[in-house]
Structure 1
Amino acid sequence: MSRHDAERPLPSGMDEPVFAEPWQAEAFALTVALHEKGLFSWSEWAEMLSAEVKVPGAAQDGSDYYRHWLRALEKLLAAKGLAPVHDVDDLAAAWQRAAHATPHGKPILLENDPLHDR
């Protein structure tokens, strides 16, 4: 996307972008792709997401919607035995360590995790 693309107005009827951050679009796309692969039904997904957005403490303005979306996806994949919670948590921690160990301006690679290959 060029700088000029970012300056284009949104389509008629849209006041703001659908995704506030790139990770939200990625979580959305991942969910759709996993569903299309047949890893879960759309009704299973809808049930899990519905339960997640109803948890106490959810933002009334919906600003945390995609955090709920991601959490629902993690729970659904764990329930299906596809991505156990401890594996997801371990991988997230490894990415955090890699991010902290990566010099500013360089790509964050999992190999930068100081505990990688231990």
Structure 2
Amino acid sequence: MNVRPEPAFEAPWHAQVFALTVALNEAGHFAWAEWADTFGATLKAHGVDRELDGGEDYFNAWLAALEVLLKKRGLAEAGMIEDMRSAWEHAYLSTPHGAPVKLQKA
């Protein structure tokens, strides 16, 4: 009998934003303590004070916290982040259900 383990993340983008955050930390762009403080403040601002299961609300807050650090550290400008968010939203809304979401190359 082949038993597959449960995935660690609900959605591929959850794993990607987690891995990106860890990679940026390991590359020295911010300390993990700064990440934890920023993420905690973001959770509080989002009103996420219940026990989290690592789902969509958790990773939306995770992404928002990462965006704060990217701007604060000068790794990405606010306009760049908004442009990328818009591009992903357009790609997501234009993709047939069940198909992989892909950004169009500019």
* RMSD, aligned CA: 2.5
Percent of paired sites with the same residue: 44
Counterpart pick for 1:66 among 42, 50, 59? 59
The code of the aligned residue for 1:23 comes to: W
Number of equivalenced pairs: 101
Unaligned stretches of 5+ in structure 2?
Answer: none
Structure with the larger RCO, 1 or 2 (CA within 8 Å, 6+ apart): 2
1:110 counterpart residue number = 104
Structure 1 or 2, whichever has the larger Rg, is 1
Q: TM-score, normalised by structure 2?
A: 0.75
Provide the rounded CA distance (Å) in 2 between the counterparts of 1:68 and 1:106: 23
Q: TM-score, normalised by structure 1?
A: 0.69
Provide the rounded CA distance (Å) in 1 between the counterparts of 2:36 and 2:51: 20
TM-superposed CA distance for 1:20, in Å, is 1.1
Q: 1:9–1:109: structure 2 CA closer, same or farther, 3 Å change rule?
A: closer
Provide the rounded CA distance (Å) in 2 between the counterparts of 1:89 and 1:68: 16
Q: CA-to-partner distance for each residue in 1:8-58, whole Å, 9 max, x for gaps?
A: 245xxxxxx431111111111000001111111111111101111112532
